[in-house]
Amino acid sequence: MQKITPFLWFDDKAEEAMHFYVSIFKNSKIGTISRYGDAGPGPKGSAMSVTFELEGQPFMALNGGPYYKLSPAISLFVNCETQEEVDELWAKLTAGGKEDHCGWLVDKYGLSWQIIPRALGEMLSDPDPEKSQRTMKAMLQMGKIDIAALKRAYEGS
């Protein structure tokens, strides 16, 4: 087991969320599912905790009840190579969820994601402050990131 693993708290949808996430990311797999027994506190036979991997990153999730809610204070950052990858992940993860600004979204389970093309980081870290600031200004106007629009802003065209 990896030394540090993200642990997600759900009210009662951990197993459903796991199946959803594994269906979206290509290099992913379901791990274990532990179920509640007679002792509860969840309904007997329902998932208590699940483990899974997304793109090789292990996760654990718990059906812990309504005590805690997911928040954008913790998000999953997805480093994308192409606009097609951004578009595909954005469409799948916003289905039933909501779009936010600057490449952020919240999926239907309340988990926040950042769907960010690698090119954005490169443009924002350019030593030329005019290029990086034009890129930042363009990004701040976006929901889903548009790489071509970022490049136009970066180049000043």
Q: What is the layout of strands, in order, in the sheet containing 112-117?
A: 75-80, 112-117, 104-106, 98-99
The model's pTM is 0.94
Low-confidence ranges of the chain (pLDDT < 70): 1
pLDDT of residue 2: 82
**Helix (H/G/I), strand (E/B), else coil: 92:** helix
Encode pLDDT of 69-97 as tens digits: 999 999 999 999 999 999 999 999 999 99
Q: What angle do CA 49, 20, 32 make, to 5 degrees?
A: 30
Q: Which stretches of 12-154 are assigned E, i.e. beta strand?
A: 28-35, 47-54, 57-63, 75-80, 98-99, 104-106, 112-117
The label of the residue with tokens 């087991």 reads: 1
Q: What domains can be seen in the chain, in order of their start residue?
A: 1-68 (3.30.720.100), 70-157 (3.10.180.10)
Structure tokens at 90: 């954005």
